[in-house]
Amino acid sequence: MEYSSVEHGNNHYELELPHGRLHVFANSDVYQTFGAKVYEMADNNLRIPRHVYMSYTPDAHVGVGTCIGTTAVWNMKDGFVSPSIVGVDIGCGMRVHTTTLHRRDIQDRAVRRALIEAIEKYVPTKERTNTHYADIDIMNVVRHGLKGLPEKYVPQEQWLTHVEESTFRFEHAYLEHLPAQIRKYAHGQLGTLGGGNHFIELQVLEIEEGRAELAARWGLFDGQVVVMIHSGSRAWGAKLGQTYTSELRDAMYSWGVDNPDRNLIYAPIASREGQTYLNLMYSALNFAVSNRHMIAFGVREAFRDVFGAGLEMPVLYDLMHNYALKEAHRNQPMLVHRKGATRALPPGHYLNTAAYKETGHPALIPGSMGTSSYIMVGREEGMKNFYSICHGAGRARSRKATKELVTVDQFEQSLMVGTDEEILVNHRSLQTILDECPQAYKDVDQIIDSVVGASLADVVAKCKPMAAIKGV
């Protein structure tokens, strides 16, 4: 594919592809790693009519229909919605809880092992293990989000307020369109981790130089133990995504719409199909934020088993990186798709929750197992990318390729197995999670450098892993 490119400086490139412009935010080293396939997929996305904007964050890599790491925007009045630019794991995102514990409190391997075992008692990590919260009505959750949970599962009021949204509102009548199998598959999964790249990590903070004041306002300090959670809408979002990808594909064929990539699906926002998908997508966002909430509830119970019933775990923030939301930009309503992209709002932005109106909210960026994660804050300059930053390190190679190229010994070295700094995991055999090793991912430090250099966001704290719980 032939295209021209302009380097704007500050890790910002603009490419003129055959069907439109793509913005790429990456430092020169990361930019050189992008292959032809990511640009081919971008050009396919740009074939969707009346697009306003499209970009890649530095963690961008090939996905199904659309690259992970994409921000794509349409006007609400005449634009399009695309399940492919949302992704199948609708509402997948991050959550961080703080503690009053210091690194020295969990340095002992026996303490960390006890925490891992306690967490596994409260948070099912095996795919076919049912939830511990059978008393929660799933339909209340998908209709009302966190406000659909029984009071006993909300330890503190701020568990409802320190989130991107506690309830995603939609027309509940659209739930009647759902196939019965979706409810069947989702039943029993609330508060369960899921497999793949989902995780619970025990981490220790290193506050960025010059950011101590902001960190303190957020309740963060050097050496602090925090818990980072990565999960999504489980079977509710997965089955919904699969169902409506298929239905929208059929609708596209009936409209005579075609695209070189049959996995790229879209519909006008105002169409019946578009409205059905959007409304049901919001139900999956409600499930996702509630799922992370209930995982965190289980983690809190586990910490209390180890450190005593008086321990509290306030939520720092909960956000998503797979969704499409109506937002006001350039003085008009737009539908902003983020697939593997994190919203990072600056101080004073109207979309910030009340708790973070003045400071901007924490933007939570996971690393890869064995490498650091980051807590960032958005900058006003991020407006140029619709306030989107990376969602993690981004895969450097497929799961199959990782298993072929990386040995268990190399994985053990990255986890510092056998040393005092070993990152403990919940799996007896690393072979079972080899495809999630750090070698499967890009260098997260380079990704963060790209974001900071592009003036999209700044680092507030680095999160060093001490233990990781993965699902299977």
Residue 370 counted as an annotated binding residue: no
Residue 198 counted as an annotated binding residue: yes
- Do the beta carbons of residue 436 and residue 87 sit within 8 Å? no
Residue 328 counted as an annotated binding residue: no
Q: How far apart are CA 274 and CA 271, in angstroms?
A: 5
- Do the beta carbons of residue 42 and residue 54 sit within 8 Å? yes
Residue 219 counted as an annotated binding residue: no
Residue 199 counted as an annotated binding residue: yes
Both tokens assigned to 464: 């060093």
Residue 321 counted as an annotated binding residue: yes
Residue 322 counted as an annotated binding residue: yes
Hunting for tokens 């990539």 — which residue is that? 261
370: left (phi over 0), alpha (psi -120 to 50) or beta: left
Question: What pairing do the DSSP bridges indicate for beta strands 199-207 and 93-102?
Answer: unpaired
Q: How far apart are CA 34 and CA 367, in angstroms?
A: 19
- Do the beta carbons of residue 8 and residue 14 sit within 8 Å? yes
Both tokens assigned to 76: 């609400």
- In 3D space, the residue among 383, 275, 271, 363 whose CA is nearest the CA of residue 324 turns out to be 275
Q: Using alpha carbons, list the distances in angstroms from residue 244 to 84, 238, 277, 339.
A: 10, 10, 7, 17
Residue 230 counted as an annotated binding residue: yes
Residue 91 counted as an annotated binding residue: no
Task: Give the burial class of 328: count Cβ atoms within 10 A of its Cβ; 0-12 exposed, 13-18 middle, 19 or more buried.
Answer: exposed
Residue tagged active-site, from 23, 349, 361, 391: 391
Residue 162 counted as an annotated binding residue: no
Residue 318 counted as an annotated binding residue: no
Residue 200 counted as an annotated binding residue: yes
Q: Is 132 in the active site?
A: no
Which residues line the annotated binding site for Mn(2+)?
Answer: 89, 198, 230, 321
Which residues line the annotated binding site for GMP?
Answer: 197-201, 321-322, 366-369, 373, 391-394, 470
Residue numbers annotated as active site: 391
Which residues line the annotated binding site?
Answer: 89, 197-201, 230, 321-322, 366-369, 373, 391-394, 470
